[in-house]
A and B are shown apart, each in its own frame.
Chain A
Amino acid sequence: MNTTIMLFLVQDGITNGAIYALLGLALVLVFAVTRVILIPQGEFVTYGALTYASLAAGQMPGTAKLALALGIGAFAFDLFVARKALHGRLILRSFLTNVVLPAIVLALTIYFAAQKPPVAICIALSLVIVAMIGLYLYRVAFQPLAHTSVLVLLIASVGVHLALQGLGLLFFGAEGQRGPAVLSGSFTAGALRFTGQSLTVYGITIAFIVGLWLFFGLTLYGKALRATAVNRLGARLAGIRTTLSGQIAFLLASVIGALSGIMIVPITTLYYDSGFLIGLKGFVAAIIGGLVSYPLTAIAALFVGIVEAFSSFYASNYKEVIVFMLLIPVLLLRSLAAPAVEEEKD
């Protein structure tokens, strides 16, 4: 092997790894706050990517309608839960955030989709649409189950994944799509060629990691989320609205997912069902990071990306086997290093 190929593979691995890092961070975040293992994370990626690609191609993405439908569902859930103590302000607030907002976004999407909007507007719309889907999804599917076991939440998560993937096929068809580059242009340094797109990927990943770190370390909301993660009951007694924490977590996760999708869709063709596998590799990173540590997850994700790049070069048939089997020695080390932690409760 020569150095050029090696450098090239490392570069490729780092680009993919950066995406896995973002997804891993989102998974850790959601799990820590809500105990949901977010299998639909992959769908956020494809929804973001394909919404962006459709808009850029001047097509109307079905996701905007889904956001409105879910929003109406969320509004109905709000009304049902508060049925014994309904008052005007509550109804109005819920109506504005759950129905009016997605309706406006839908109108904007219809308006812009007809006239091939510039990249910036495509990105903004895709992000907002997927963010709303994430937010309402939590309200409709997970908030009513918040008190149940991790296992039940996990199965609900599987149900949501199936439904979203089916909807993805309905919205975007079985054909793969590619989107325009977020940042075009490139330069070469030595043997390596850096595209604007890959630089965007690095930049946004780093920005997000720093941003999350600041958010959790310095802001009150960030601290509230951490408190919820440690002890739901305690957090509630201290006046933190745990449903709000869950909503913030899902909002962040969907934005991160959509952003990752928008960043990779100019590099690789994405299909309606590509998200699952991409999300799972984020998982691998998150597990290596122990589902708790953000920096460790990021490093592990880069490692996963590089291993994937090298194994697709040397043994492309066994690429997936190698990536997923990578976990076993890690888990083995973890279980040897930390003898089973005692007493988890249902």
Chain B
Amino acid sequence: MQSRLPILVFAALMAAIPFVPGMPPFWIVLLDNIGLTALVAMGLVLLTGVGGLTSFGQAAFVGFGAYTTAVLSTAYGLSPWLTLPLSLLVSGLLAVLLGLVTVRLSGHYLPLGTLAWGLGLFYLFSKLEFLGRNDGISAIPPLSIGSFKMLSPGSIYYAIWVAVIVSALLTVNLLDSRTGRAIRALRRGHVAAEAFGVHTPRAKMLVFIHAAVLAGLSGWLYAHLQRAVNPTPFGAQAGIEYLFIAVVGGAGYVWGGVLGAAIVVVLKEVLQSYLPLILPGSGQVETIVFGIMLVALLQLAPGGVWPWLMSFLPERTDGKKPDTSLKLEQRTRAPSQDSVLLHVEKARKQFGGVIAVNNVSFDVQAREIVALIGPNGAGKSTTFNLITGVLSATSGSISVLGKKVDNAPPQEIVKLGISRTFQHVKLVPDMTVLENVAIGAHLRGHSGPIASMLRLDRADEAKLLAEAARQIERVGLAEQMHQLAGSLSLGQQRIVEIARALCVDPMLLLLDEPAAGLRHMEKQRLAALLRELRDGGMSVLLVEHDMGFVMNLADRIVVLDFGTKIAEGTPATIKTNPEVIKAYLGVAA
């Protein structure tokens, strides 16, 4: 997707900097610091900006990385290269432990929770005997290759920036993959992602570990750059600082993390060295100015500096069209026409004293379009949520192809070939239509995060995107394939949801008000598409308020009122059913 050229240029530029004649050594120190900070900020970009999980605790993971190598290379004399995997492992394992506790917290609990353990761990670092208490550990051996010891800031420079650029590449690769799409969907709530088989707690854990390992790497490098560690740089203040570096750079962008690190490190340095010349005064004038500048920067560019800069570049909407000849494996279909695909038996859902769905029973046969209608508040969407596992039924049972699936989670339901759209569109607005639709094919791909980072997933990925592109063409949105989903009209977004649901290769498609917001011609096209899908062997269960649309399309209609089924039959019989007329018009006509 993204061109590699700018990254190569950047890498070459960074490699050339130490060779510039007359380059002050102090600048190299500054660049070292930027690199170390950028590693942590990059992890936070993924965690906070992309995944929506705010963490104040990253400094603690830097501490884990630094202390692990400090202890092992001084007290046990291990080679620094040997402690690298161990530092990363310790950071990663502790991330699993802390993640188990905190990742499940929602909303503002999470940042505050991370702040709490960030603080607690800082005090622990400064109190533990074997970590040297407040004095820390010194005389850490430098990194060395053969007899070449990286003692000066200039020699470790390459180690740091190779780490930064490789990590950035791996992170960018990860985001542009099957797993990456799941991660990017996290910030928008988990119902939609889970409906397509994404295991959201696992995805959250994954970004948490990824960020922690990057922080651990930064800590390992830090320990061998400074050749000493003490608790101060791993405290809550540092944790907060990493977070605002990510936000200043642009919390959704990997390179924004690097840019943010550069801005903040340079700004602090400039303030520290020049401000006392302008404003002589006691103490922390630079902190004051820094704080004020931070607030001002946010007021000018709340999204961060990177996206603000990028907005000056011409927009790219000419994404490459995937090769649609690549095929994914298809599901084996139900053999005959009159087998019962979905059987709902006395399903009941109570919210406290309210009975949203009251012992409703109905079937959906193979190759059939069934409409679920009823006045507002009749329990239609709740019935959908019961079928798809978003809600668990209070009593009753739901079976698919004769097998009971009571209270299975959404991820299991979608595996059975039941996919859905939502009454309130749930797309990721800052992803393209193609990427959004590809989430639908999540379960049909197999590449994991490691494969994605190393780009071993390309064959698998190409097939997923091909399937997504095919479904987009099928619903008639080929023109909009590379636009951001958020830029489409509401009606088009509903159609995108249908394409996403089709990517599951479903046996049964559940559509929640698909025609709302569509124009007349668009409705006709949608009806034609749904008939075509039925004739191709799929069943459709839809909720819809447009009676003309329903009566012309549905093979059978189920009518709900106040959570109870009041009628079921062909459109012709429903039209004349007195109960239905009473429910809609209030009196028997």
Task: Identify the A interface with B (CB < 8 A).
Answer: 31, 37, 39, 141, 144-145, 148, 150-152, 154-156, 158-167, 169-170, 173-174, 280, 283-284, 287, 291, 317-318, 320-321, 324-325, 327-328, 331-332, 334-335, 340-346
Q: What distance in Å separates the Cβ of A68 from its nearest Cβ neighbour in chain B?
A: 17
A111 to B115, CA, bound (A): 43
Residue of A nearest to B247 (CB): A155
Of B105, B191, B243, B291, the residue contacting A331 (CB under 8 A) is: B105
Docked-complex contact A342 and B294, CB < 8 angstroms = no
Task: Check: B158 CB closer than 8 A to any chain A CB.
Answer: no
Docked-complex contact B48 and A151, CB < 8 angstroms = yes
Residue of A nearest to B286 (CB): A166
- B289-305: CB near A (< 8 Å → 1, else 0) gives 11111110011001000
Q: What distance in Å separates the Cβ of B424 from its nearest Cβ neighbour in chain A?
A: 9
Docked-complex contact A169 and B117, CB < 8 angstroms = no
A320 to B102, CA, bound (A): 20
A333 to B474, CA, bound (A): 48
Docked-complex contact B109 and A155, CB < 8 angstroms = no
Q: What distance in Å separates the Cβ of A55 from its nearest Cβ neighbour in chain B?
A: 21
Given that A158-B240, A174-B283 are contacting pairs, would A331 and B109 also be in contact in the complex, using a CB cutoff of 8 Å?
Answer: yes
A170 to B295, CA, bound (A): 20
Q: What distance in Å separates the Cβ of B372 from its nearest Cβ neighbour in chain A?
A: 23
Give the chain A neighbours of B119 by CB distance below 8 A. 280, 320, 324
Docked-complex contact B116 and A166, CB < 8 angstroms = no
Docked-complex contact B190 and A342, CB < 8 angstroms = yes
Docked-complex contact A331 and B115, CB < 8 angstroms = no
Docked-complex contact B287 and A159, CB < 8 angstroms = no
Task: Check: B282 CB closer than 8 A to any chain A CB.
Answer: yes
The 6 closest A-B pairs by CB, nearest first: A163-B291, A159-B294, A162-B291, A166-B287, A166-B288, A327-B116
Docked-complex contact B295 and A169, CB < 8 angstroms = no
Give the chain B neighbours of A148 by CB distance below 8 A. 298, 302
Interface residues of B in 344-392 (CB under 8 A from A): none
Interface residues of B in 111-130 (CB under 8 A from A): 111-113, 115-117, 119-120, 123-124, 127
A27 to B291, CA, bound (A): 21
10 interchain pairs, CB-CB under 8 A: A158-B244, A158-B291, A162-B287, A165-B284, A170-B285, A320-B120, A331-B105, A340-B104, A342-B191, A346-B187
A346 to B29, CA, bound (A): 38
Give the chain B neighbours of A141 by CB distance below 8 A. 295
Task: Check: B320 CB closer than 8 A to any chain A CB.
Answer: no
A344 to B286, CA, bound (A): 37
Q: What distance in Å separates the Cβ of A63 from its nearest Cβ neighbour in chain B?
A: 14
Residue of B nearest to A322 (CB): B120
Docked-complex contact A169 and B127, CB < 8 angstroms = no
Give the chain A neighbours of B22 by CB distance below 8 A. none
Of B48, B109, B283, B294, the residue contacting A158 (CB under 8 A) is: B294
Docked-complex contact A324 and B120, CB < 8 angstroms = yes
A1 to B342, CA, bound (A): 68
Apart from A152-B298, A174-B283, A324-B116, 16 more pairs, CB < 8 Å: A37-B111, A145-B298, A151-B251, A163-B287, A166-B285, A170-B288, A283-B115, A287-B113, A291-B109, A291-B112, A321-B123, A321-B124, A324-B119, A327-B116, A335-B104, A342-B190
Task: Check: B314 CB closer than 8 A to any chain A CB.
Answer: no
Docked-complex contact A150 and B108, CB < 8 angstroms = yes
A148 to B109, CA, bound (A): 19
A287 to B119, CA, bound (A): 15
Of A284, A318, A343, the residue contacting B191 (CB under 8 A) is: A343
Residue of A nearest to B106 (CB): A340
Task: Check: B517 CB closer than 8 A to any chain A CB.
Answer: no
Docked-complex contact B287 and A156, CB < 8 angstroms = no
Docked-complex contact B299 and A341, CB < 8 angstroms = no
A328 to B248, CA, bound (A): 29
- B166-198: CB near A (< 8 Å → 1, else 0) gives 000000000000000000000101110000000
Of A39, A156, A345, the residue contacting B295 (CB under 8 A) is: A156
Residue of A nearest to B118 (CB): A324
